[in-house]
Amino acid sequence: MATGTSHLLRLLLSCRKITAQVTTSTTNTIIAMASSSEQEFAKLCKAKLHRVPRCRNLWDSKIASRVGEKLGDRLNEVGVCKVEIDVEEEINRPVHYRKMVKPLFDSVKFKGITVIGAEKLDL
């Protein structure tokens, strides 16, 4: 479990969507959240559903990057400037997921949010 800062960035991944949420370490209250299931991504996901041959994932690194941008904007709105990731959890993810979520961390950093622990990931 990540310790030291008061905000924890958690990723929930499936083949259909990616969800990023920032919670407080003490109460696990969600401060900000962004997901590929939001309205902005609905048209793209629907197109991928009906594509032949079918694709395995409905999200990719581009969508992960956009989710990171939205999360960074929402964190800036509430005044959070530093989040921490659970490095052990991220390292234990399959490699193909780790490669696809790196742009999410980069987008959050680009918005001015410090992501503690992202530098420890070998991507």
Of 99, 78, 82, 98, residue with least CA distance to 90 = 98
Nearest-angstrom CA–CA distance, 34 and 77: 13
* Rounded distance between C-alpha atoms, residue 1 and residue 4, angstroms: 10
- pLDDT at position 98, please? 81
CA distance 68 to 54: 26
Residue % of the chain over a pLDDT of 90: 40
Residue 5 or 11, more confident: 11
Higher pLDDT, 13 or 71: 71
Tokens 């003490």 belong to residue: 26
Residue 38 confidence class, pLDDT cut points 50, 70, 90: confident
pLDDT score, position 58: 64
pLDDT for 2 equals 46
72-112 pLDDT tens trace: 999 999 999 999 999 898 888 888 778 888 889 999 999 99
Q: What is the pTM of this model?
A: 0.82
User: Is residue 15 scored above 60 in pLDDT?
Assistant: yes
